[in-house]
Structure 1
Amino acid sequence: MAVEVGTKVTGKVTGITKFGAFVELGDGKTGLVHISEVSDAYVKDIHDVLHVGEPVTVKVLSIQDGKIGLSIRKAVDKPQQSEHENSHRESHHTPSARPSGNRYQGGARSGGGNHFGHKAQPSKDDFDAMMSGYLKESEDRLSVLRRNTEGKRGGRGGRRS
């Protein structure tokens, strides 16, 4: 069988390294499955997933300078979710169920938000209010820092010129 980008091929694992596995594809050709392409889940140790001599189905990702890049996880047929299913699944989340990471919760937002309570496009006034709040907070912190370090300068023997 000809090895071309995008085709699925059955091969045999011939070697395993810490970064991936080498797969013999037939006709004397060997490709590499990078550890990130072994599974959709995180793989800490590739030896837990693959073994030398094991037959695997791979998808050819690339062929460059005689090196063949392979993927096991992309060779697995998964049912495609429609856009409607994705949006339906997201709508089940309620704003109270999601932790809020927004430091500027008060005042800056006003109506017109999506189902999570966030505005689709922040206005210039919201940004200006947020920036002025940040600048004031920053200046307050700097003044406290200056006050605390003023008396500590000089140390022994007074000021140096």
Structure 2
Amino acid sequence: MSIEVGSKLQGKVTGITNFGAFVELPGGSTGLVHISEVADNYVKDINEFLTVGDEVEVKVLNVESDGKIGLSIRKAKEAPPQEREQRRPQKRSPRNQGNNRREQLSFEDKMNRFLKDSEERLASLKRNTESKRGGRNTKRG
């Protein structure tokens, strides 16, 4: 069976480490669910959520060329996009309204703004570091 990115599969937890859980997938292949992909909230101890032998639904995040398979339990439980839209609050807070204007910019406008901000930051950083290192425009004596 071919494992495709984005597909949801049933698997069995075969091993647990401090950084994640190994899950055997249909067809005999094994993938890793990183500890950050187990639950939506912070997971300090993975053993509180999973035990060896558990049947879990996982979503395939990536398949590496060397055969490693990245999996997620929390993304397999995600609601479809239209359900997420219905659960979102309809009214925006005044704080978020300013961000809405920024979202309407084209990619080129966003890129130009980013470049301008970056150049300004680099120039400021360069001015500050040159004066501390004894750059060209510093006074000697």
**TM bracket (short chain):** 0.5 to 0.7
TM-score, reference length from structure 2: 0.60
Q: Relative contact order: is structure 1 or structure 2 higher (C-alpha 8 Å, sep ≥ 6)?
A: 2
Match of 2:61 in 1: 61
Quote the Cα distance in structure 2 between the aligned partners of 1:13 and 1:76.
Answer: 17
- How far did 1:80 drift? 1.2
Match of 1:21 in 2: 21
Match of 2:33 in 1: 33
Aligned length: 95
Q: Which runs of 5+ in 2 are unaligned?
A: 102-141
TM-score, reference length from structure 1: 0.53
Change (3 A) 1:87 1:28: same
What secondary structure is seen at the aligned counterpart in 2 of 1:41? coil
- How far did 1:81 drift? 2.0
Q: Which runs of 5+ in 1 are unaligned?
A: 92-114, 122-161
Match of 1:80 in 2: 84
4+ residue segments displaced more than 6 Å? 118-121
Match of 1:42 in 2: 42
Quote the Cα distance in structure 1 between the aligned partners of 2:20 and 2:90.
Answer: 36
What code does the residue aligned with 1:81 have?
E
1:12-161 superposed matches below 5 A: 12-64=12-64, 65-78=66-79, 79-82=83-86, 85-88=88-91, 90-91=92-93, 115-116=94-95
What RMSD in Å do the two structures reach over aligned CA positions? Answer: 2.4
Identity percentage of aligned residues: 58
Relative to total residues, which structure has the larger helix share, 1 or 2?
Answer: 2
**How big is each residue's C-alpha offset from its partner over 1:12-52, in whole Å with a ceiling of 9 and x where there is no partner?**
00000000000000222000000000011111100000000
- How far did 1:2 drift? 2.9
Compare CA radii of gyration and give the structure with the larger one: 1
